[in-house]
Structure formats: C-alpha cells, structure tokens
Amino acid sequence: MRWHVRTTAALAFVVTAGAAAAQHAAVAADARIGETIYSRCLACHALAYDRTGPRHCGLFGRRAGSVKGFAYSDAMKRSSIVWTEKTLDRFLANPLKMVPGTAMGYAGVASSKERADLIAYLKEANASAQCRS
Amino acid sequence: MSFLIVANAPNVFEARRAFLGKSGLLLSGAAVALLAGQEALAAGGDKSSDSDTRILNTALGAELEAIAAYQLGAESGLLQKPVLDLAVTFQGHHKEHADLLAKTIQKLGGKPVSAKAKYAFPTETLKTQNDVLRFAATLEKGAVSAYLGAVPVFGNRDLAKAAASILGDEAMHWAILRNALGEAPVPSAFVA
C-alpha cells in the first residue's frame, strides 16, 4: 500500500512537472523572436505568395505538397504530412531527414526554442490580416 | 548615416568603389577556381549526387529570383546613382552565381531550373529608394541563411565550398545594403 501511495505520488509529480514544462515551453515561445528567425527563410519563402518555396499563409492544417500551382518535389507530394505544430517542429529540425528528397536543402533549425519561436510567429502571422485577406 | 551622405564624402565613396571593384574581381577569380574544381564531379545517379543536384537547383531558383528583383529595382526609377550602380553590380554577381550553379547542375547530370516568366514581388510596398534597399537587404540576408543551411548538407565537399563562397558574397551585399540604409553593416559576430 505504501509503495502504491509513493508510486502514485511520484507519478502525480511527473505528470505535474511535465504539464508545467509544457506550459513553460508554450509561454516561452516568442513570436517576436520568431519573426526575426523567419528572416532566415526569406530567400525562398513569403507569407502570402509562392516563391522558390511555397507560401506560408494557410500552412496549419494544410497537407504538404498541396498548394495549387506550386512545383513541389515528388518526395514532398508523397509525404502525407499534414502541417501542425508537431510536424513542423520535426521538419524544421531536419527537413532532409523527415522528407528525404525534399527540395528544401537546408540543415534545419537545431534549437528547439528557436523552432518554437518560429512556429509561434507562423501561427500569429497565419491569424493576421495579411494571411486572412 | 544614410548612403547618400556617405556618397557625398568623396574619399569614403572612392574607397567603397575601389572595394566593390576589387571584390568583383575576387569573386570572378573564385568562380573560375570553382568551375575548375568541377572537373572532379561525376554525372550522378547516386543518392548523394541527386540530393546535391536538388539543393543546387533550389539555390539556382532563388538566384534567378534575385536577378529579377534587382531588375525590378533598377527599372523602378526609385534608385539614384550611385545606389543604382550598386544594384546593377550586385545583380551581376547573382548572374555569375546562377551561371555557375546551372553549369554545375548540368555537370551532375541534372536539369537546371529556368527563370520564371513572372515573379511575385511586394511592389505595393516599394515607394522609395530605401524601400527598395530594404527589400534587397531582406533577400540578401535570406540568401546568407539559405546558403549557410545548405553548406553542411552537400554530399560533395567541393560543392559545399562553392556554396560557402557564394554565401560570403551574399553577406557582403547584405552588409553594404544595411550600411546604405544607415544601419550597422555587420549587426553581429555570427550569421544564422
């Protein structure tokens, strides 16, 4: 019984600590910093229109390789990815690992904090008038 | 300090012009050396070569867009000399990059992408010379980051070296454009 109580208490602590960490990460993600990080993407991407890379407006919930008229790699078209915070985080960490054959020949954003900031900015931008118009 | 104020100081401007001339010569020399290095490149088929070709083609697409962007700036009527000359010089560098990239892609057995018939540019935001300079600086900064992200993923280290050489040129463009805008030309010790 004592073991059970201790285990329950330990589990409760782990769950609470995990939730706190997740909340901290959510709070810590800074869209303003993310906007600065987004400047790294601006050789190829824009929010509202396609360039060497596809537009980022409408990104969340979009199936990868589905912007009409954009010439994706076969690998991206076949990837079956739907862009969410989670899938974006994985892709941005190492695009060539997640989608071998992607045209995005980029080593990735190594820092999880920078990825979180970048994703926070993309979410904010997607809710902005620029993306909603 | 605006670029035009700097331009009114003859000694400083002469020094800059001399610097630009020399950097152009250096880049041409580097391009020749990089082309010579391609003798060792084999026309592909293997995974690494295919991946390198894709990376080069993405870079070529961005270079072709940069050429079009500088053309837009040059024809906008918003750029005054000597800023106009600067834009044309930088456009020439991008043409050299594109030429080198296209030749390398062909050497690897790939098909270089062509320039688009039409590019989307935020023309509604380009009302002054500074707007054009800021737009160009944004593209150059992005290019620095793009090449920085490409260097480690090339299978062929000679191609990584070529990409790093282009990165250096883009960084110089970015710094000079920032200086022209009155911003610190080199804002930090590292680029990302």
> Please, which pLDDT band fits residue A10 given cuts at 50, 70 and 90?
low
Read off the tokens for A104.
Answer: 């995005």
Q: Using an 8 Å Cβ cutoff, are B4 and B181 in contact? A: no
Please say if the pLDDT value at position A21 is more than 60: no
- Indicate the range of A10-19, A94-103, B54-63, B69-78 predicted with least confidence: A10-19
Q: Rounded to whole angstroms, how far apart are CA atoms B190 and A22? A: 30
Size of interface A-B (CB pairs under 8 A): 69
Whole-number Å distance between alpha carbons of B91 and B66: 7
A-chain CB neighbours of B51 within 8 Å are 96, 101, 105
pTM (2 decimals)? 0.81
Calculate the CA dihedral of residues B65, B67, B73, B75 and round it to 10 degrees. -120
Mean pLDDT in residue range B39-47: 62
The reply to whether A107 touches chain B by the CB within 8 Å rule is yes
The neighbour count for residue B157, using CB atoms within 10 Å, is: 9
Q: Looking at this protein, which amino acid is placed at residue B85?
A: D
Q: Which residue has the tokens 């509604």?
A: B124
Cβ atoms within 10 Å, residue A81: 17
The domain limits of chain B are 3-180
Helix (H/G/I), strand (E/B), else coil: A107:
coil
Q: Which CATH class is domain B3-180?
A: mainly alpha
Q: How far apart are the C-alpha atoms of B93 and B83, rounded to whole Å?
A: 16
Share of chain B above pLDDT 70, in %: 77
Please, which pLDDT band fits residue B2 given cuts at 50, 70 and 90? very low
Nearest to B177 by CA among B86, B89, B96: B86
CA distance linking residue A101 with residue B52, whole number of Å: 10
- Give the CA angle between residues A55, A60, A64 to the nearest 5°: 65
Helix B157-180, helix B10-37: angle, nearest 10: 170
The ranges assigned to domains in chain A are 30-132
Q: What is the pLDDT of residue A20?
A: 52
Chain B contact for A42 (CB, 8 A cutoff): yes
| Nearest chain A Cα distance for residue B154, angstroms | 8
Could you give the CA distance from residue B180 to residue B1 in angstroms, rounded to a whole number? 8
Mutate to test the interface with A, among B46, B119, B145, B178 (most CBs of A within 10 A): B145
What ipTM did this prediction achieve?
Answer: 0.80
What's the pLDDT tens digit per position in B56-114? Answer: 999 999 999 999 999 999 999 999 999 999 999 999 999 999 999 999 999 999 999 99
Write down how long chain B is: 192
A102–chain B nearest CA distance, Å: 8
* CATH superfamily of the domain spanning A30-132: Cytochrome c-like domain (1.10.760.10)
Q: Name the token pair of B158.
A: 């000679």
Higher pLDDT, A67 or A25: A67
